[in-house]
A and B are shown apart, each in its own frame.
Chain A
């Protein structure tokens, strides 16, 4: 999604009204209920969210010069910066060590990388297809990517072939290096 993304893709930027800011926050909490206790730390009440509209109807939301989350259509997706601050709140899958290299270069994640001994998937019922997951790696503390499940985690376990997670955002991609100013 952010394979190519530069400053030229920014169409407009504006400050978000505080009422909309509130709705955004509740929406975020609704999506990730565990965020509730820390939401005021992540986005302090007094802070000013900035909305950056970009090419392909991507909207970035930045607080204090840091892009914290973005949305393509309806769903809010946290960026890795936000995930790193409070990783417990998001559905997480884990890939094995061999996969890290490919993930960091922006590849979709293949099922075997999610089912091998070094990887971890949640127990049944797991996550639905199309849900946003944070991708962690074996022996690592921080998340390295965010993706969208192309099949449910149960299916990944049983099929074990082909693409499992569609890449949305990974360490080192243009969004990661994107500088809000």
Chain B
């Protein structure tokens, strides 16, 4: 098998495009950082020497024939796109940081509980998959359903509140979101307000 014939294309980790097209995604800054770190030889190829300013870079890339006027317009558009994208990312991050995960424990019968986990959808979590993981991890029934506010929540049978809380913390930490609040709500039957945790099933 000859390995040489196929091109090995590098895809940018940030925007998933081949690095040629990073400039069109509006995430150019982060793309460049990534490329510099991981593929310095490509970085010099596309962006010239690293010390140059962004303007020099794009003008170098733009040795093209579409005329200066159009080129200028294109650059302007790209810049606008970039700022837009950056703002969007910031907004999203802020939204993520300000939102919180709610784990609710509800009593079903005396000794049995269900957990309802909501507020995860902001964090790009695949709910169905997570439900599956929970189901096999805790050996209980677990499913995704819609709650009163028409938002998706994970319903988990069995009293495993602490373990779930821990798991979600690690999950969010993996995504680089350490400071997200995870709130636990304990709703118990009115007759028994004492702190007697049911034995874990």
Residue ranges of A at the interface with B (Cβ–Cβ < 8 Å): 37-38, 40-42, 84-87, 96-98, 100-101, 104, 116-118, 137-142, 144, 171-172, 176-177
Contacts and interface: CB of A to CB of B under 8 A. Distances in A.
A117 B65 CA distance: 6
Nearest to B1: A41
B20 A140 contact: yes
Interface in B60-81: 61-66, 70-71, 74, 77-78
Contacts of B71: 97-98
| Top 4 closest pairs, chain A to chain B, by CB | A117-B65, A142-B18, A118-B65, A84-B9
B6 A142 contact: no
Contacts, number: 73
Given A38-B6, A84-B9, A87-B7, A104 B21 contact: yes
Interface in B1-45: 1-3, 5-9, 15-18, 20-21, 24-25
Interface string B39-60: 0000000000000000000000
Interface residues of B, number: 27
A101 B79 CA distance: 12
Nearest to A97: B64
A116 B70 CA distance: 13
Given A85-B8, A140-B20, A171-B17, 10 more contacts: A84-B18, A85-B9, A96-B65, A101-B74, A104-B21, A104-B24, A139-B63, A142-B9, A171-B21, A176-B16
A86 B17 contact: no
A84 B5 CA distance: 12
A84 to B, nearest CB: 4
A101 B65 contact: no
